[in-house]
Structure 1
């Protein structure tokens, strides 16, 4: 019989999973990262329901367990969306994630049929062995790939991006190592093991929610509170920017464009085009361009994106941690394809080349 305290820990994990699922699924500004995290939390909730109901419903618990087939695979897709700026999820990635989900579901169906005495374990031991080993193999590969997503591009990321990666990797390594060590040391104490696993699960969910808020809330608020052109050149704020700031509420499409380009840092993507945003938002290109001209205070898409890129470059040029970073590297990190377009766009906006801008900052 499962003790009351273990049940309480499972109930706590279930409650937190449902709360975070609700938060992610009902956001006014949904995106792929939040959607995948919501799926992950839903899968954890199914897992906890299975654990809580095991003693009372017997083999039917495994039918609930089918819903817990999007844990490590969903989290891998989340990591790709969170850390990659372009082509984060392609069909082949979905195929792998679905394959793992199907293996987990098949294993749960197998256990249900076995529990209902549809067949005896002796003749089908090989089937069970294949299902378990394939699931473990693919899941282990996915965990390695998830870790790699946090490491990939670390050196080229911004200071804030590096901090987010460090948090992600620290929690990820702690969760993996902690669960493996706990299973080895507490094999004879399942109750203590359940506490540790519950605590690790809570840590992963809460830290991921913090990362989402950090990336898609705080970052957006910071960038949209102060008009970009005022940050670049206080005396050169145009009438269009002032009109945008005084207009108040943006249209739903303009908010989506702003949230995608700024909130998800799409402007740092090299060779970003109107068609990329139109495809992401499933909206016509001419409407995207119109919203940028009439509501976001830019003459065209390229000007809007370059303004954001230059603001990012200014932040890097002013950062003491990037004093030795080359102008080329800063331009590439800011979304420009080469140093020439970066230098020209920077001088057009600020009146200075990136090198002159850095020298002026150092002289102050």
Structure 2
């Protein structure tokens, strides 16, 4: 039981901290820190009891309390792990904010839209910190803007909307009909084909290959109809 608890706490620590910077929801970021703190303290308590000669570590009440604590912590962790892939609808509508932009955000919002129009999302190593530097604003302000005004709950999803929309445009283009899907994924800003395929299928309900075939065949059929008429 103690081994399971220790593994569960280590997994909790990793998940909370590994995705901390990507999370744009302030309340959820606080929850990550709280969960990570409790997981670390629980690990220290477990180690302390294992190294001591205390009989409490064999007490059924202690074992039950330990089990309940681990269960509750993992239950809270599942709330953090719910995907937010469709925060803002179809990737093709990524540039549309979900709420009117307040006057005090307008300059920053317009600067952000300019960078996005220039294709900054195609930089594979782009992080929210780097984007905030380019906008010359604090990172927490950019988190607030993207979360509250653009309706995205994590930075990866926000950027991937633009990357997927760009990739879909390339896949629909006859001029890129022979371009490898891997090349399009890299050009859009993805680091590997696996995450690109999964994100694309989740967004468009088709694999990139199927999406390309469907749209290019429709374009070719339309061209034949026009030629025939």
Alignment TM-score, normalising by the size of structure 2: 0.51
| Residues 97 and 149, structure 2, Cα contact 8 Å, conserved in 1 | no
DSSP 3-state at the match of 2:153? coil
| Of 104, 110, 113, the match for 1:258 | 113
Structure 1 residue 277 corresponds to structure 2 residue 138: no
1:231 CA drift (Å): 6.4
Q: Quote how far apart the aligned CAs of 1:230 are.
A: 5.0
> 1:134: which partner in 2?
none
Provide the aligned length of Structure 1 versus Structure 2: 128
For structure 1, which runs of at least 5 residues remain unmatched after alignment? 1-227
* 1:346 and 2:185 aligned: no
What pairs with 1:195-274 in structure 2 (closer than 5 Å)? 229-230=89-90, 232=92, 243-244=98-99, 247=100, 251-260=106-115, 262-274=116-128
Partners of 2:128 and 2:113 lie apart in 1 by 13
Equivalences for residues 279-294 of structure 1 within 5 A:
279-294=133-148
List structure 1 segments (4+ residues) > 6 angstroms apart after TM superposition: none
The Cα shift of 1:258 comes to: 2.2
Please give the per-residue CA displacement for 1:179-218, whole angstroms capped at 9, x wherever unaligned: xxxxxxxxxxxxxxxxxxxxxxxxxxxxxxxxxxxxxxxx
Pairwise CA distance, 1:243: 3.0
Matched, 1:296 2:139: no
- The 2-side partners of 1:257 and 1:312 are apart by 17
Counterpart of 1:321 (choices 175, 183, 197) is 175
Assess if the C-alpha contact under 8 Å between 1:313 and 1:330 holds in 2. yes
Partner of 2:160: 306
Distance 1:283 1:310 in 2: 26
CA distance in 2, matches of 1:242, 1:281: 18
Q: TM-score, normalization: structure 1?
A: 0.33
- The alpha carbon displacement at 1:275 in A equals 1.0
**CA separation in 1, counterparts of 2:167 and 2:146?**
22
Contact 2:97 2:150 (C-alpha < 8 Å) held by counterparts: no
Distance 1:333 1:231 in 2: 17
Q: Does 1:331 align with 2:206?
A: no
Where is the helix percentage greater, Structure 1 or Structure 2? Answer: 1
